[in-house]
Amino acid sequence: MAEWIVIIGFVQALFGILIFISKRPRHLCFTFLTIWLSIIAVFLGAQLLPFEVVNYFKPGIFPLIFLFGPLLYFYVSSLTIEDFKLKLNHFWHIIPLILISIHRSTINAVSVSSSSILTENPPFIYNKIYFILLIISTFIYWIFSVKLILIHRKNIPFYFSNYTSKNTLNWLIFVVLIFLLFFVAQLFVSSFEKVFDTNIIKFPILFTNLTIFTFIMVFFGINQSVIYNSKKQNREKIIGNTEAKYSNSALNKKQIEVLNNTVFSYLKSKKPFLNPEYSLQMMAEDLSISRQKLSQTFNIGKQKNFYKIINEFRIEEVKQMINNPDFNHFSVLGIAFECGFNSKTSFNRIFKEETGHTPTSYKKSESILIT
């Protein structure tokens, strides 16, 4: 059974590598996933060899697992930080890998798949120490990664018009939490077996963890698109005012007024908010106006964020369609989806905030007024 678990995980990792190598458009987040799955493939593949890697290469494969934490952090950073790039100061993240490799080169290192009974295999004590350090490392990186996700989620209303599974990254918090719990569970089981001199688990937990984790990451990673897919603007162009002399400075009242008129005229005439995936980046590209200027216009001119303004336009569109006999065959929720909402819960909440009524009660009141 143990061998089949390893084979399944190995094949899944290879499958994931092929997917993320060919993923388009290319982005750094897919590169991190590819490296991550490559390490898992190497680690699991080494277990299928007819010999122990440590017999020919003293550090073995085990130190590579210390890249899991950094790769998680880099993957989250590439999704939540726009234009994230690897820098020289990121090198310190691989120091644990280097130190463990050096240490294993100076001792009688044994494979992680060898006997964990210390009376039979005393050098395995070092593997236990490594594993504890690995859990600590993974936990620390998990904390930093979750912190990045939470900061990103606070910024969603400034860039996006809807909360979606792809921009909230709820799945990633769940996945890394499960991954961390698996490792902690393995440490607990290992300690329990040692204290009570028993063997309650008949299959290799580490390999099982990696196999399950690989499946989950491939499944969710395929569906996760790039969050900040910005394009560099070569020019600053404001409809009705082509000057760009204030591109790097705060906007004055006159400039904000001009941008307000431009933006709101565009929203009323083009109705881009009907697209549930509409974002600040899309508006910036449509109007050839920098996101910085648009944000200043909303935050200073209207004291509102992008999410609030776009959904106000959507609510007005919903109200117009409710009052239009041509849409009587639509349900209120159907109208909401036509107007760019992607969630019944968020629609009901926003509608009541804007009108003081639930969508259903508003429709009934409007029907009474019409009759």
Residue 152 · residue 80 · CB < 8 Å: yes
**The predicted structure's pLDDT at residue 155:** 92
**The predicted structure's pLDDT at residue 200:** 60
Q: Where does the pLDDT of residue 262 fall: very low under 50, low under 70, confident under 90, or very high at 90 and above?
A: very high
For the record, the structure tokens of 197 come out as 């001199």
Output the 3-class SS for 10-35. Answer: HHHHHHHHHHHHCCCCCCHHHHHHHH
User: First-to-last CA distance in the chain?
Assistant: 72
Residue 279 phi/psi, 5° resolution?
A: -135, 170
Closest CA to 303 of 340, 274, 260: 260
Q: Decide which of 172 and 262 is more confident.
A: 262
pTM above 0.85, yes or no: no
Structural domains of the chain in order of their starting residue, each with its CATH number: 2-223 (1.20.1070), 253-370 (1.10.10.60)
Mean pLDDT (whole number) for 144-169: 91
Residue 214 · residue 40 · CB < 8 Å: yes
- Per-residue DSSP letter, 63: G
pLDDT at 238 over 80: no
pLDDT digits (tens, 9 = 90+) for 111-136: 877 777 777 788 888 888 888 888 88
